[in-house]
Structure 1
Amino acid sequence: MHVLMVAAENDALPNAKVGGVADVLRDCPKALAELGLTVDVVIPDYGFTALERVQLGTLHVPFAGYIHDVQVWQVYVEQRQVRQLVLSHPLFSQHHGAVYCNDDGNRPFATDATKFALFNAAVCEALLQGVITRPDVLHLHDWHSACVAVLLKFDHRFASFSSLRSVFTVHNIALQGIRPFKGDDSSLEAWFPALSYNGEVLCDPRYPHCFNPMRSAINLVDKVHLVSPSYAQEVLQASEPHNGFFGGEGLERDLNNAMTNNKVVGILNGCEYTEHTHNAQESSTLAQLYFAIEQVLFAWMAKEVNLQSSYYIAHQRLQQFIERPVKGPLVTSVGRLTDQKALLLRQPCENLQVLDALCEKLNQQQGRMIILGSGDTALEDVITTAMARNSNLLFLKGYGNNVGELLYELGDLFLMPSSFEPCGISQMLAMRAGQPCLVHQVGGLKDTITHLENGFSFNGDTLQTQSEALVACFVDTLTLRQKQPKQWDEIVSNAKATRFTWPLVAKDYISKLYN
């Protein structure tokens, strides 16, 4: 069986990772290949100039009223079981190697949607011309690849692909890539002016004058894959953000229809396990962590002429941590700062913000918290000001891979109070390193963490009850660690022994998605 995966990210290639989808595109194809499948992965070329590469062909792609030349390359990396393909065009690499450009709220997704629409058109053209071999299964990932399904369905030039089996994985339903049908340079009719399409299938349910790539793919493919069984159930319900519940985000009706037609499958993502990761905690030290933090802080500071307050406060706090060695637990958190991940941290609780309340409770045991991540500017500001108020909080605004690895290895408790979590990789990485997690009982977190067995979890029906439950669970967890060390050690051992392996996931892909 030959599978072609189409995506925006792929951590098998350097600097092509933003979120967890990149880990999936790195690890899952390898697991499938080890089961005997032929797997090709194609993403845009964001500027992989340093990689060994061979040109497979040049495509002449009709797009936005012009013919664009797009080069198809096979690139060679250490992972040779999977054929890695990239498509080159100036539009894909114009943002200095960045995967996404994050347009402002006036024209959300505009630049990225145009870029990925051209990429999708080029993928279809490569299939039509045989530059990319026709697969048995076409596997599309998130909205960035959804126009492939639209073109293969509605563009008569690709009619020969109408029987090609197709799968669409929803990694994050909160990001749908919505753009107008027309009247904008970044719109479906601007990209594909000759396309005859069924607007009822492609339109956004809330904004009928807009094209919704994610909804389109859900309606057009043979199988829809959600990245955990619990998330596959949650998206069937309407979101109630005022109550802290995030479900189908407007697509619940389409997903329920797909479920009725036996199209929806929930399969949990996997994680890579090696002997090195099992034993890493024994060799890493806090001194190494603090040195790595200082190095990454200096690197971030050097990028700008004016020193940001977040970096200045963080460096001062780091010096305090070094001068006064930690006596209590080290609580860690690693991830992108979005409302998905951090909404609860900024809720009011006990006349404080939740994050302040957690720091206060942690301070009673002489513990410290280190948060690594960046994202939403308003959330970055919230956590920076919380760091200024709490002497036991260190916030590192950015991402440093080495720092992240050390936080997984050296932390006593990993904090992941996501408001929704399709699958989650951070909790798997923390558990792998022997760090139990405190999580909100949603999505993939619910499917990977069992309260008082391999971690700790909380729940609630409203934002207020969730916030109160988070703080209460945090206090109970710290108390258990302090007063019941035998039970704590057992939970740590269980967390470290828990396995979510890609070979098992790959077998589910074959039986539930591909066959």
Structure 2
Amino acid sequence: MRVLMVAAENDRLPNCKVGGVADVIRDIPYALSSQGVEVSVVVPDYGQSHLNRTFVSDIAVPFRQHLETATLWQVEQQDGVTQYVISHSLFSQHHGEIYCNDEGHRPFATDATKFAFFSAAVSEAIEHKMFAQLDVLHLHDWHAACVAVLKKFSPRFVYLKQLKTIYTVHNLALQGIRPFNHDESSLEAWFPTLSYDGQILCDHQHPHCFNPMRSAIALADKVHVVSPTYGEEVLHTSEPDRGFFGGEGLEHDMQIAKRHGKLVGILNGCEYPNVETNKMPLPDYLHQVESELLIWMSKQALVRSSHYIAHQRLRAWLDSSWQGPLITSVGRLTDQKALLLRQPIGSTLLLDELAKMAAAKGARIVILGSGDKYLESLFTQVMARNDNLLYLCGYGQSIGDMLYQLGDLFLMPSSFEPCGISQMLAMRAGQPCLVHQVGGLADTVKDLENGFSFSGEDLPEQVSQLLEKFDFATSMYVDNQEQYQQLASNAATARFTWLHSASLYIEQLYQ
């Protein structure tokens, strides 16, 4: 069996990662290969240096009333997996940035054009058999969705139409919606001769707009979401005011997919290297964080308040002795991750309350992550109010990896989590997690077996249960080390392997 994976990110390649999809594209091909599947992977070439490119072919791509030329390069062939990139100025014009994140009244405009062209180039490369013989086409997230649209509606593609198409939804909240027409970033601007069925491709809320995510869900042979629990949640209407995030406007499409036997929930996996890692002494870690922080500070003419306060906090911690537990959190700072933490409690926020409760147990909190500017500001203010909290506004792979090893309790109260990788990495390191019982968190963290979890019918109940479970977990750490260490041991021995996921891919998606 020969599979081609099409995605926007791939952490197997340098500087080709923003989120968790890059981890999946990095790991699952090799797990599939070990079970006899020949896998090829193709992503855009964002202009990364250090890629060992081998020319495969130029690709003639009709796009925006022009015949553009893209180039297919093979960049690696190892362990039964072949890695490709497609280069064109549309992909590399933003100096290696994967996403442009257009603000205001034209969301996704730049990225949608870029990924529409990428989809067209992939479709042409498949049609002209530049990837050799294929059996399965596996598309990931809205960035690759136009391949399914061209496969269905363009008469140019004959061989492409014969392939079984799988569509994986990594994050249903990002759908890439653009107008059908009257905009340079629109379906008809990209493919002016395409005859399409607008009823299938339109967005429910904005019928004059093209929804790539909805289109691929409707047109794929199988729709895959990245955990079984998330596969149930997406069938229900999101109610953000009460803290529930489900189908994000596509619940009816997901219900149809389920009725037709198309919807499959398979948990992502995690790598478990046979390497003993020694726990770094906390002062050594803080010195490494200080070095990273100084690098962040040097990149801007004016020192950001978040960096200044963090540096002052680091120096204070280095000058003090401390024996209490370390509570950690690593992740992109978005409302997906932080909606609960920013809920008001009196004149402060829930995160303030957690810091106060931690201080009463002699605990400190380290949070690593950046993203939403408003949330960055809020977290900086919380840090200023609580001297046992350190917020690092940025991301460094090494200091993030070490934080998994160092922590005693990992905090991940996401409002929704299609799968999640941070909790698996923390558990792998023997750090119990405190999580919201949603999506992949519910499928990996079992309350009082290998970690701690909470739920709640609405935001106030979720806030209350989080506070209660946080107090319970930190009290157990202080008062019952034997029970706590058993939880930590259970977390470390839990296994969510890519090999298991790969066997389910073959059985439930590909065959």
Query: Shorter-chain-normalised TM-score: which range?
Result: over 0.9
Matches within 5 A, 1:215-234: 215-234=214-233
The corresponding residue for 1:403 is: 399
- State the 1:80 CA deviation: 4.5
1:423 to 415, 419, 427: 419
Matches within 5 A, 1:86-101: 86-101=85-100
Asked whether the equivalents of residues 326 and 368 of structure 1 are also in contact (C-alpha less than 8 Å), the reply is: no
Matched residue SS, 1:71: strand
- State the 1:341 CA deviation: 0.5
Distance in structure 1 (CA, Å) of the matches to 2:510 and 2:80: 19
- State the 1:324 CA deviation: 1.2
1:127-168 C-alpha deviation (Å, 9 max, x unpaired): 112222241000000000000000010000013322310000
The corresponding residue for 1:168 is: 167
1:379-412 C-alpha deviation (Å, 9 max, x unpaired): 1111011111111111111110000011000000
Distance in structure 2 (CA, Å) of the matches to 1:351 and 1:47: 48
Q: Which amino acid aligns with 1:50?
A: H
Calculate the TM-score normalised by the size of structure 1.
Answer: 0.98
The corresponding residue for 1:475 is: 471
1:348 to 344, 347, 353: 344
Asked whether the equivalents of residues 184 and 190 of structure 1 are also in contact (C-alpha less than 8 Å), the reply is: yes
Aligned residues: 511
Distance in structure 1 (CA, Å) of the matches to 2:316 and 2:498: 42
The corresponding residue for 1:63 is: 63
Matches within 5 A, 1:294-309: 294-309=290-305
- State the 1:288 CA deviation: 2.7
1:8-49 C-alpha deviation (Å, 9 max, x unpaired): 000000111111110100100000011111000000001123
Q: Which amino acid aligns with 1:44?
A: P
2:332 to 312, 336, 344: 336
Distance in structure 2 (CA, Å) of the matches to 1:17 and 1:304: 23
Which stretches in structure 1 are left out of the alignment for 5+ residues? none
Distance in structure 2 (CA, Å) of the matches to 1:442 and 1:325: 37
1:235-281 C-alpha deviation (Å, 9 max, x unpaired): 000000000000000000010001000000000000000122xx32x
Q: Which amino acid aligns with 2:450?
A: N
The corresponding residue for 1:76 is: 76
The corresponding residue for 2:237 is: 238
Distance in structure 2 (CA, Å) of the matches to 1:288 and 1:54: 43
Distance in structure 2 (CA, Å) of the matches to 1:97 and 1:190: 25
Distance in structure 1 (CA, Å) of the matches to 2:180 and 2:285: 50
- State the 1:105 CA deviation: 2.7
Distance in structure 1 (CA, Å) of the matches to 2:283 and 2:33: 40
Matched residue SS, 1:434: coil
1:306-349 C-alpha deviation (Å, 9 max, x unpaired): 11111111111111111113321100000001100000000023
The corresponding residue for 1:368 is: 364
The corresponding residue for 1:441 is: 437
Matches within 5 A, 1:459-474: 459-474=455-470
1:460-506 C-alpha deviation (Å, 9 max, x unpaired): 11111111111111001101111111110110000000000111110
Asked whether the equivalents of residues 349 and 468 of structure 1 are also in contact (C-alpha less than 8 Å), the reply is: no
Distance in structure 2 (CA, Å) of the matches to 1:390 and 1:94: 43
Calculate the TM-score normalised by the size of structure 2.
Answer: 0.99
Distance in structure 1 (CA, Å) of the matches to 2:193 and 2:484: 63
The corresponding residue for 1:48 is: 48
The corresponding residue for 1:12 is: 12
Which stretches in structure 2 are left out of the alignment for 5+ residues? none
Q: Which amino acid aligns with 2:405?
A: E
The corresponding residue for 2:490 is: 494
Q: Which amino acid aligns with 1:312?
A: Y
Identity %: 58
Asked whether the equivalents of residues 149 and 215 of structure 2 are also in contact (C-alpha less than 8 Å), the reply is: yes
Matched residue SS, 2:294: helix
The corresponding residue for 2:320 is: 324
- State the 1:294 CA deviation: 1.0
Q: Which amino acid aligns with 2:448?
A: L
Asked whether the equivalents of residues 279 and 406 of structure 2 are also in contact (C-alpha less than 8 Å), the reply is: no
1:193-241 C-alpha deviation (Å, 9 max, x unpaired): 0000000000001110110000000000000000000000000000000
- State the 1:351 CA deviation: 4.7
Are residue 510 (structure 1) and residue 506 (structure 2) matched? yes
CA RMSD of aligned residues (A): 1.0
Q: Which amino acid aligns with 1:7?
A: A
Q: Which amino acid aligns with 2:360?
A: Q
Distance in structure 2 (CA, Å) of the matches to 1:82 and 1:302: 40
- State the 1:289 CA deviation: 1.3
